Amino acid sequence: MTRQAVPITLRGLRKTYGPVRALDDVDLDVANGEFLTLLGPSGSGKTTLLMVLAGFIRPDQGVLRFGEDDVTRLAPHKRDIGMVFQNYALFPHMDVAANIAYPLALRGVAPAERERRVEAALQTVQLAGYGARRVDQLSGGQRQRVALARAIVFEPRIVLMDEPLSALDKQLREHMQIELRQLHEQLGTTTIYVTHDQREALTLSDRVAVVNGGRIMQLDTPRALYEKPANRFVAEFIGESSLLKAERDGDGWRCAGQPLRHAGTVPAGTRALLMLRPERVQVLGQQGGEHLNVLPARVSAVVYQGDSFLLQARLADGSAVSARGIAHAAVLNRLPAVGEPVRLGFGVDDTVLLADDGG
């Protein structure tokens, strides 16, 4: 349905508000047809970056290109972008078809062609037959689809989305994530998506840019972000993790007095942080674990959470470690009680060392 997608190039984008740098010399390359998510906490700069892409905010310095075109100073309506807002921004006095046709009317598209494109857009978002309905007759998920249809009906090369699923309940939100991903694959547009929801970013994206303090902390695939975070901020922001002090021991590393076998790169210096994902940590008996790294600890809490359990323990130095597993009855019956000693094991490939930046 869309025209040829275009890449996006950002170089040295800066935006300040008084003493605050909302964007701090941001460089970014987005490939043709890529689904890239800007992920970060409130105030990180992700929405400011999206608004610069849309043309609603002008950067203080830097260059923004869509393909070969410099659009840094170009007005929003001349950028050929589709936009899906957080609150959908639908017109309540118009029916569904009129809402979707609105950007076509602005562009002077003839009525017959408008009708054809609206019907095609409704088919694309699985709302065929809904054109005559009022907006207030729609569910939240249907309104979200109408907003999507309006964003794609004029065949933009780039689609920008500002937390479009945040108002939906958890079950519908997860369903719509799959639908959005499938729609992107069907249309092939270059898509920039903003969210603060880590799981949403990992579900939807080809790549994710983790943003904090107006800077991109790491730009990578969802798997790489989760398994090999570049720094402490990314490790703590993406999923659950235990961060433990590690110290260099000759050519190797130790944590809580125990040697660590590890794979991959290691940071320079004499100190590091060992990052452990709870689902990669095994609760061992008194025997076993010969091929694992093992840390002795004492159980501080065992929490049943329906489909899983969370075991929390403390090392001799007081550091906290979590282990999460599937809540099979046989496993739950063997879990140690609070106060009991326990051995926690984790594989060499799951032993990730990060630079200890003191954060």
What is the SS3 string spanning 198-227? HHHHHHHCCEEEEEECCEEEEEECHHHHHH
Report the percent of the chain where pLDDT is more than 90: 58
Asked if the model's pLDDT at residue 2 lies above 70, the reply is: no
Distance of alpha carbon 79 from alpha carbon 321, whole angstroms: 49
Q: What are the pLDDT digits (tens) for 40-84?
A: 999 999 999 999 999 999 999 999 999 999 999 999 989 989 998
Output the pLDDT for position 1. 47
Three-state secondary structure string covering 262-296: CCCCCCCCCEEEEEECHHHCEEECCCCCCCCEEEE
CA 36 to chain centre: 9
pLDDT at position 314, please?
95
pLDDT tens digits along 113-166? 999 999 999 988 888 888 999 988 888 888 888 988 898 888 898 999 998 888
- What would the two tokens of residue 324 be? 């999460």
Q: Are 211 and 55 in contact (CB under 8 A)?
A: no
Measured in whole angstroms, the distance separating CA 167 from the mean position of its chain's CA atoms is 17
Q: Which residues contact 128 (CB under 8 A, 6 or more apart)?
A: 119, 122
Does the pLDDT value for residue 274 go beyond 90? Answer: yes
For the sheet with 352-355, list strands across it. 258-260, 252-255, 242-249, 271-276, 352-355
Write the pLDDT tens digit of every residue in 175-222: 888 888 988 888 889 999 999 999 999 999 999 999 999 999 999 999
Q: Could you give the CA distance from residue 223 to residue 148 in angstroms, rounded to a whole number?
A: 27
Query: Domains plus CATH for the chain?
Result: 8-233 (3.40.50.300), 242-355 (2.40.50.140)
**Distance from CA of residue 259 to its chain's centroid?**
34
Question: What span, in angstroms and rounded, lies between the C-alpha atoms of 180 and 263?
Answer: 36
CA–CA dist 118, 129 (Å, integer): 11
Q: Which tokens belong to 164?
A: 């479009």
Rg (CA), the chain: 25
Mean pLDDT, residues 94-105: 91
| pLDDT score of 295 more than 50 | yes
Q: How confident is the model at residue 263 (pLDDT cuts 50, 70, 90)?
A: confident
* pTM score of the predicted model: 0.88
pLDDT at 81: 92
Q: From CA 128, how far away is CA 236, in angstroms rounded?
A: 43
Contacts of 186 (CB under 8 A, 6+ apart): 1, 124
197: left (phi over 0), alpha (psi -120 to 50) or beta: beta
What average pLDDT does the chain have? Answer: 90
